[in-house]
Amino acid sequence: MDTDAELSNSWWNKVKYYARLAIERVEDGVDKVKELLSTLTSDERYGVMLEFEDACPQKFAQLVTDAPQWTEWMA
């Protein structure tokens, strides 16, 4: 039986997984990160970017430098 806590953990685990993928894709170019994010819901995209920034601030800064319009991807 699913509980709210289980759903929350499942969602957060998914977000953390996609954040790791996004971090890896920065080296392949911002278009690869954008492509990955486009497959997610808006809530997941926001979660991924928050986790990305926390997990790897240097690569997040690189992404922001390379794609200052990244916030437009969140819509």
Phi, psi of 41 (to 5 degrees): -70, 165
Report DSSP letters for 5-74, one per residue: HHHHHHHHHHHHHHHHHHHHHGGG-HHHHHHHHTTS-HHHHHHHHHHHHHH-HHHHHHHHHH-TTGGGGG
Where are the domains positioned within the chain?
Answer: 4-74
Q: Is the pLDDT of residue 20 over 60?
A: yes
Q: What's this model's pTM, rounded to 2 decimal places?
A: 0.85
pLDDT in tens, 25-74: 999 999 999 999 999 999 999 999 999 999 999 999 999 999 999 999 98
